[in-house]
Amino acid sequence: MAFRISDMLNCRSMVIFVLAATSFIVFSGTPSLARTVTDQLGRNVTVPDEPRRIVSLAPNITEIIFALGQEHLLIGATRFSDYPPEAEKLPKVGSYVHLDLEKIVALKPDLCIAIKDGNPIVVAKRLESLKIPVYAVDPKNLETIMQTVLEIGGLINAEKRADLLVQNMDLRIQKVKSLVSNVTHRPRVFFQIGVSPIVSVGTHTFIHGLIVLAGGTNLAEGPISYPRFSREQVLALSPEVIIITSMARAAIFEQVKAEWNKWPDLPAVRNQRIFLEDSNFFDRPTPRLVDGLELLVRLIHPELFKEAE
Amino acid sequence: MAIDIKNLNYYYGDIPALKDLTFSVTKGDFFIIIGPNGSGKTTLMKLMAGILKPKKGRLKILNRAIGNYTRKDLAKTMAFVPQIMPVDFPFSVIEVVLMGRSPYMGMLGVEQEEDLKIAKQALTFTGAEHLAHRKLDQLSGGEQQRVFIARALCQEPDIILLDEPTASLDLAHQTRLMDLMEKLKKEKGITVVMVSHDINLAAMYSDRLLLLNKGEIVCLGHPDEVLTFRTLEAAYGCTLLVDESPLGKIPRITPVPHKYLDHHQKG
Amino acid sequence: MNTDKPLLIKRLWVVSFSLMLVLLAAMFLGLSLGSSQSGIKAVFQNLLGIGPHDPMLDTIIWKIRFPRVLLATLVGGTLSLGGLVFQALLKNPLAEPYILGISGGSAIGAIIGILIGLVRFPGVSLTAFSGSIGTLLLILVMSSGQTILKKDALLLSGVMVNAFCGAIIMFLVSLTQDARLHNIIFWLMGDLSMVDMPQVGILAAMLVPCFFLLFWFSNSMNLLLMGKEMAQTMGVNVKAVTVILLVATSFMVSATVSYCGLVGFVGLVVPHLLRLLFGPDHRVLVPACVFGGGAYLVFCDVLARTLPDQGEMPAGVITAMIGAPLFIYLLKRTRR
């Protein structure tokens, strides 16, 4: 049966009306689907109420989103977003210091979450000029990490889970604090993050905070964040505990340990308190830092746990 | 007068190179400057070419002080042919010759028909037209020199200055070059001023000769007057024999090797 | 005698036009290829305005790739031209645009800017630029005991200052442990990714007049090759021309480096390549360097962006990997 012209015209006008109505609803509805928030750098950012396509611009942010159970919202992440292992499958958008603008734009995100220390602000600005909101966080220590978790939770509609996560973190931290509150001696800890040259951690690092919380003394504390030491200087400091973290494999650790064992006068050598730990627990501003804290307490104050047993 | 020099002085730092020189070069002359090493010949040439500025004294080109010429005007009046050809100079012959037209062309040196014509003529005059499209560094020393002379001719100068042009040429090319200079003088009326180390050639070609020593004029005039035993020995400080060339009333200078000197053999 | 060798104007147009075409082709490649697989056909359609309109593709092509391609053109042209001019001025085929202390000085300036936490624009750019101009002045003072005309003094001072700066740079790098180290390394290797259109516009406004100025003096450069004294007898104001060329070129190269770090090898190899192809006449080589050098860097940058699986290589790696063999090949071919 052939269409008559009047039918066609009716058909067309119906379609146009429906389209117009839908557009009207959609576009008039759009303003209410976004809100303005202030990120951790004090910037005002307009973010969607329900972000569905999030790109994480740093590995720790990826971790946090996974920890909040919202990984289905992630459509891209930077390289080295390797925890949890599922994160590796996400499309890569460059490294956190050298972001690939094109890849990010091609993914059509409705929100990007950035980290102050590392992401070039230039890229954040360009993303915003392309109408992609960028929310920046700046986790500097355990407290601000918990704050970050809460804020990200608020952004992605996972407030409840964020609360839970933060409460759990807080509990564990308080437990460590109370355990440590009665110790009389704070062992001298040398935390080695670089093998050649020997590099340790200063006051303005996550690790320093963890060492202090775990009841130790950070031998490398001071204004320089990553100070270098010669072997002599370390010997002079006479560490009681040496903790080595690096991306190195076990074989290299044995070499490094053997190097230290050449100096039997070191308390750490005498008491066989040289340990290798996974750096991921210590240098990423994520909830796993609490795991790192618990690890440290066991290494620095093993006597506290012997009693428990 | 083509070149007029009065009380010309030049020093390098504290060391005097030319002391109070006064002389002039007549238009259309073949004027050759000779003298031992260090006599100041090259300095004098550079002053005349406008490369160096006189410290004291007066230098006039065609009755106008050299300082009053603009660079381009001076280039149109006087052309300089260097002793050593530039190294690493990968241009073709015709390109080099056309560079001689730069005082007449604009900043970009866009060549016109006229410029090409003059370049062609210059190459023909120096007998190098068959080399036009060869690369300069593929030519022999003598051929390169002819190309540079052709370039100099393109400047349409009244005066041409040459710095020891025969220094690295073989016998045939030496004469050829000097003949070319004579041709320039006779056919184009160009004043040729040359620094030479070859006294005999200078004797055969020059209208006037200037003998320099230690920055001062020893003698200036016709070869006959200048090339005498006394003046030459004093200037060059070695034993010389001066007689007459078989070609005519031209002085011929023969340096005397030590073994030909009269010595009393001792014991 | 056959003087039918094409006159300058014709040669100039032929070379410029053909290289401009090469540049446009390279730019098209640069707009079509990138880390998001958009496909050449899609880009072609977008450029011609036909086919379905995809705003995301639009953004990628015009807001992300186009500034970068334009920057690569400007940088490639500037560096090649800089190499050309310094090779003529210093009469040394090994001369390259960074030789008069520009690489050392700008790097130190940039590193200091990065270490004290300045942003790339305008902060680090300004410190890099000042560092560059500072070392240039230092070199001019050092070698001015003899006049500027003594080219070896200039060259040697430049080499020494660069070497000294290199030591300082390595020292500063060794002290840096955090994310700033990445920024420094990227800057040192040359980084074309950090610019947007307004910034490219500013750079173009600074560079294009320099291109024209250097073209204006291109015949003088030919004459200078004959030797400073000879050039003077042919009417060239050698001192003035040398100063103008030096200042303009240094300014141009410094501005470029302050935008994108030390992209290497372009300024050394492109002038030689073009000389092998088109002859030694600077009047032809100046525009050839601008278009040809631009095309070369655009092309190398495309490879740098698309070859690696992850991230991108520094463009300077590609320029060397392609340029060196290409140059050797051309050299052998023209030896006969």
Lowest mean pLDDT among A182-186, B185-189, C158-162, C331-335: C331-335
Residue A3, pLDDT above cutoff 80: no
Q: Do chains A and B touch (3 or more CB pairs under 8 A)?
A: no
Window C:12-71, CB contacts with A under 8 Å = 34-36, 38, 56, 59-60, 63-65
> In this structure, what token pair is assigned to residue A141?
């220590």
The ipTM is: 0.88
Q: Among the listed ranges B156-170, B229-243, C282-296, which one has the minimum average pLDDT value?
A: B229-243
Residue B35 backbone dihedrals phi, psi, to 5 degrees: 160, 165
Stretch among A203-212, B177-186, C4-13, C140-149 having the lowest mean pLDDT: C140-149
Average pLDDT estimate for C170-174: 90
pLDDT computed for residue C2 by the predictor: 38
CATH of A34-166, one of 1.10.3720.10, 3.30.450.20, 3.40.50.1980, 3.40.50.2300: 3.40.50.1980
Indicate yes or no: CB of B102 within 8 angstroms of CB of C235.
yes
Higher-pLDDT residue of C329 and C194 is: C329
Q: Kindly indicate the confidence band of residue B262, based on its pLDDT and cuts at 50, 70 and 90.
A: confident
Place of tokens 């950035």: A114
Contact state of A105 with C59 under an 8 Å Cβ cutoff? yes
Q: Is the model's pLDDT at A247 over the cut of 70?
A: no
pLDDT band at A14 (very low <50, low <70, confident <90, very high): low
Question: Which residues from chain A sit within 8 angstroms of residue C35, using beta carbons?
Answer: 100, 102-103, 106
The domain segmentation of chain C, as residue ranges, is 61-335
Which pLDDT value is given to residue B98?
93
Question: What CA–CA distance (Å, rounded) separates C85 from C96?
Answer: 9
Residue C78 has pLDDT above 70, yes or no: yes
Over range A102-111, report the average pLDDT. 91
Provide the pLDDT for residue B267: 39
Task: Tell me the C-alpha distance between B115 and B247, whole Å.
Answer: 41
Which of the other chains make 3 or more beta carbon contacts under 8 angstroms with chain A? C
CATH 3.40.50.1980, domain A182-308, yes or no: yes
The CA distance from A166 to A147, in Å, is: 8
**With an 8 Å Cβ cutoff, are A126 and C196 in contact?**
yes
Interface chains of chain B (3 or more CB pairs under 8 Å): C
Is pLDDT above 50 for C4?
no
Helix (H, G, I), strand (E, B) or coil at A251: helix
Q: Which residue did the predictor score with more confidence, C138 or A2?
A: C138
End-to-end CA distance of chain C: 24
What's the pLDDT score for residue A250?
66
* % of chain C exceeding 70 in pLDDT: 95
Average pLDDT, integer, range A290-296: 92
Q: Tell me whether residues B120 and C1 touch, CB distance under 8 A.
A: yes
Residue B266 has pLDDT above 50, yes or no: no
Distance from CA of C307 to the nearest CA of A (A): 14
Q: Do C1 and B86 touch (CB under 8 A)?
A: no
C residues 96-135 near B, CB within 8 Å?
Answer: none
Whether the per-residue pLDDT at C34 is higher than 90: the answer is no
CA distances from C238 to A201, B99, B236, C3 (A): 59, 15, 37, 30
Using an 8 Å CB-CB cutoff, list chain B residues near C2.
Answer: 132-133
Residue A20 pLDDT grade (very low, low, confident, very high; cuts 50, 70, 90): low
Q: Is A118 on the interface with C (CB under 8 A)?
A: yes
pLDDT for position C146? 61
pLDDT band at C134 (very low <50, low <70, confident <90, very high): very high
- Taking the Cβ of residue C219 and every Cβ of chain B, the question of whether any pair is shorter than 8 Å is answered with yes
State the nearest Cα–Cα gap between B180 and chain C, in angstroms: 21
In this prediction, residues C100-129 reach a mean pLDDT of: 90
Q: Check if A34-166 and A182-308 are the same fold.
A: yes
Instruction: Give the type of residue at B107.
Output: M
Give the model's pLDDT for residue C264.
84
- Is 70 exceeded by the pLDDT of residue B23? yes
Q: How far is C36 from chain A (nearest CA, A)?
A: 5
Min distance C175 CA to chain A CA atoms (Å): 9
Cβ(C30)–Cβ(C298) below 8 Å: yes
Neighbour-count burial of C160, counting CB atoms closer than 10 A to its CB (0-12 exposed, 13-18 middle, 19+ buried): middle
Shortest CB distance from C56 goes to which of A95, A108, A129? Answer: A108
Kindly indicate the confidence band of residue A113, based on its pLDDT and cuts at 50, 70 and 90: very high
As a whole number of angstroms, the distance between CA A307 and CA C149 comes to 84
Per-residue pLDDT for B109 more than 90?
no
Pick from B71, B100, B120: which is nearest to C237 by CB? B71
Res B249 pLDDT > 90: no
Query: In this model, does residue C1 exceed pLDDT 60?
Result: no
CA distance A231 to B153: 77
pLDDT for position A226: 86
DSSP code string of C36-96 = S---HHHHHHHHHT-S---HHHHIIIIIIIHHHHHHHHHHHHHHHHHHHHHHHHTT-TT--
Decide if C47 contacts C252 (C-beta within 8 A). Answer: no
Q: Stretch B175-182: mean pLDDT, rounded?
A: 92
Give the pair of three-digit tokens for residue C9: 């104007």
CA distance C279 to C259: 32
Q: Is the pLDDT of residue B90 over 80?
A: yes
Predicted local confidence at residue A4, as pLDDT: 53
Cβ separation C2–B133 shorter than 8 A: yes
Among B50, B99, B132, the residue with its CB nearest the CB of C3 is: B132
Considering CB atoms only, which of C56, C119, C193 is closest to A105?
A: C56
Contact C8 B110 (CB under 8 A): yes
Q: Which of residues 149-208 of A touch C (CB under 8 A)?
A: 194, 199
Give the chain B residue nearest C212 (alpha carbons). Answer: B108
Query: Phi and psi of B126, rounded to 5°?
Result: -90, 5
Sequence-ordered list of residues with C-beta below 8 angstroms from that of B229, at least 6 positions apart, any chain? B240, B241, B242
Q: Considering only CA atoms, which of B181, B152, B154 is closest in space to residue B32?
A: B181
d(CA A159, CA A154): 5
For the ranges B79-83, B98-102, C138-142, which has the lowest average pLDDT?
C138-142
- Per-residue pLDDT tens for C186-205? 888 888 887 888 999 999 99
User: Would you state the structure tokens that stand for residue C325, as one six-digit string?
Assistant: 């063999």
Residues 6 or more apart whose Cβ sits within 8 Å of residue C81: C211, C214, C249, C252, C286, C289, C290, C293
pLDDT of residue B222: 92
pLDDT of residue A9: 53
Domain boundaries, chain A: 34-166, 182-308
Q: Which of A50-54, A58-62, B138-142 has the lowest mean pLDDT?
A: B138-142
Matching residue, tokens 């220094």: B167
Band (pLDDT 50/70/90 cuts) for residue C336 is low
- Give the pLDDT of residue B124: 93
Chain B: give the shortest CA distance to residue C8, in Å.
Answer: 6
CA-based nearest distance C306→chain A, Å: 12
> Quick check: A130 and C59 CB within 8 A?
yes
Q: Do chains A and C touch (3 or more CB pairs under 8 A)?
A: yes
Query: Looking at residues B22-31, what average pLDDT do you find?
Result: 93
Q: Which residues from C are below 8 Å from B123, CB to CB?
A: 1
Does residue C231 sit at the B interface (CB-CB below 8 Å)? no
pLDDT the model gives residue B89: 85
Per the prediction, chain C carries an average pLDDT of: 87
Distance from CA of B48 to the nearest CA of C (A): 10
Spatial contact of B66 and B49, defined as CB atoms under 8 Å apart: no
pLDDT-based confidence at residue A22 (cuts at 50, 70, 90): low
Least confident of A258-272, A285-299, C176-190: C176-190
SS3 A197: coil
- From the list C97, C130, C124, C151, the residue with the least C-alpha distance to C263 is C97
Average pLDDT, chain B: 89
pLDDT at B37: 87
Residue B47 distance to chain C (closest CA, Å): 11
* Interface-testing mutation among A60, A81, A98, with chain C (most C C-beta atoms within 10 A): A98
Note whether C138 contacts A: Cβ–Cβ < 8 A. no
How do residues A172-191 score in pLDDT, each as one tens digit? 999 999 999 988 899 999 99
Residue numbers in A near C36 (CB within 8 A): 102-103, 105-106
Confidence (pLDDT) at C59: 80
CATH superfamily of C61-335: ABC transporter involved in vitamin B12 uptake, BtuC (1.10.3470.10)
Is the CB of C119 less than 8 angstroms away from the CB of A122?
yes
Of C7, C222, C275, the CB nearest to B99: C222
Q: Is the pLDDT of residue B220 over 60?
A: yes
Q: Select from C215, C234, C279 the Cβ nearest to the Cβ of B102.
A: C234
CB of A91 closer than 8 Å to CB of A78: no
Residue type, C22: V
CA distance C27 to chain A (A): 17
Residue B106 has a pLDDT of 85
- Distances from the Cα of A87 to the Cα of A55, A62, A110, A136, angstroms: 12, 7, 19, 20
